[in-house]
Amino acid sequence: MKRSPGFTLSELLAAVCVLGILLTLCAPAAKAVRRQTTLAVSSSALRQLSIAAQNYFSESQGQFFRARENLSDGTQWWFGFESQAGPKTEGKRILDKSRGPLGPYLADSAGRVPDFAFTSMGASFKPKFANGYFGFGVNTEMTGGPSGQDPSKLRRISQLARPGRTALFATCAQINTFQAPASGKNPMLEEFYFFNTTDCRNTVHFRHNQKAIVAFADGSQQEIPGDPAEFDRRLPSAGVGSLPEAVVLP
């Protein structure tokens, strides 16, 4: 009897098993490539922010920029301007990144490339703005406090004893349980733009294999591992925690 040219059931099962084994073997390599890609994107963005900050210092007698300033027509965040006339709904707010203190010192795309690791939480990621996301924070111990108005926390770079060991920027985020669609039963990861040792202590995002990328005041940068035991327990898989105080305090 002439054999059909098709595959037998046993042959199909064998092919599926071989394919499964190959995919299993390739998965770690694919994960490693993805991590290196997201790490490179995040590192590049922080490097551009650092260059912009150094240029800002050179034209401001070494004075740090304000983390935040309330203006008559809106809020001047350190990373951009939000008009008072714009939408207030979370996820629909509009940010003009070119109008931040560092805007004039950044190239068209520098410091604004999305970090894919930041949105890897899928449905648990909560956007704040309609026109992209940022995902980095500044050390408010040197930039006027979260309000930007505290003169005791508005420094000059010459006042830092260890500029190469004092964090200026870091990968940041927070866990939101208080704004829909987030809730106590549905914690979500969202952007956050400040870190310090007090009210914004637990906002550093260890999103790169449980490491945060930190850019120091002298322009250098480093990966710093987090302590999983101290990650925000509302969504521990997101890796939101704090840096050592020695790295944050000027």
Query: What pLDDT is recorded for position 90?
Result: 87
Amino acid at 190: E
Q: Is residue 4 included in any domain, yes or no?
A: no
Q: Is residue 1 included in any domain, yes or no?
A: no
Q: How many domains is the chain built from?
A: 1
User: Residue 134 is part of which domain span?
Assistant: 10-248
Q: pLDDT of 41-93, one tens digit each? A: 788 888 888 999 999 999 999 999 999 999 999 999 998 899 999 999 988 99
Q: Is residue 210 included in any domain, yes or no?
A: yes
pTM value is 0.84
Q: Is residue 204 included in any domain, yes or no?
A: yes
Better-scored residue on pLDDT, 98 or 24: 98
Q: Are strands 204-205 and 136-139 parallel, antiparallel or unpaired?
A: unpaired
Query: What pLDDT is recorded for position 103?
Result: 86
Phi and psi, residue 44, nearest 5°: -65, -40
Q: Give the distance from CA 226 to its chain's centroid.
A: 14
Q: Is residue 36 included in any domain, yes or no?
A: yes
Q: Is residue 3 included in any domain, yes or no?
A: no
Query: What pLDDT is recorded for position 110?
Result: 42
pLDDT(29) > 50: no
